[in-house]
Amino acid sequence: MTCIAKTSDVLPGKMRRIDIDGHRLLLANVEGKFYVADDTCTHEDASLCTGSLKGELVKCPLHGSRFDLKTGKPLEDPAEEYLKVYPVTIEGDNVLIEFE
């Protein structure tokens, strides 16, 4: 398990980018539940953390594709490929994920 942040690093309803070993991840806090996914849209190289978060859905700022942060499923065109999501474990105030 890799600690990527503290729970206090991201307020509810917000998200931020985390860089680990050259890999960009999106960390989102949805009403105290944390989600981690790749930060790059599967349609084009846009940073999802600069988009918008509405509940468990993140919207790409470039072409408007939305992804479900629970499953990575793309919900709107033009994105068709799933977004990679990572299971999150909270230990104390540490946000941990399985990261290869």
What pLDDT is stored for residue 99 in this prediction? 76
Report the side by side order of strands in the sheet with 66-68: 52-54, 57-59, 66-68
pLDDT in tens, 24-58: 999 999 999 999 999 999 998 899 999 999 999 99
- Does the predicted TM-score (pTM) go above 0.85? yes
What pLDDT is stored for residue 27 in this prediction? 98
What pLDDT is stored for residue 86 in this prediction? 96
49: containing domain:
2-97
What pLDDT is stored for residue 87 in this prediction? 96
Q: How many domains does the chain have?
A: 1
Reported confidence tier of residue 91, pLDDT bands at 50, 70, 90: very high
CATH of the domain at 31: 2.102.10.10
Q: Calculate the average pLDDT of the chain.
A: 95
- Contact partners, residue 75, CB within 8 Å, separation at least 6: 57, 65, 66, 67, 68
Handedness of CA 7, 79, 40, 88 (dihedral sign): positive
3-state secondary structure of 34: strand
What pLDDT is stored for residue 75 in this prediction? 96
What pLDDT is stored for residue 21 in this prediction? 87
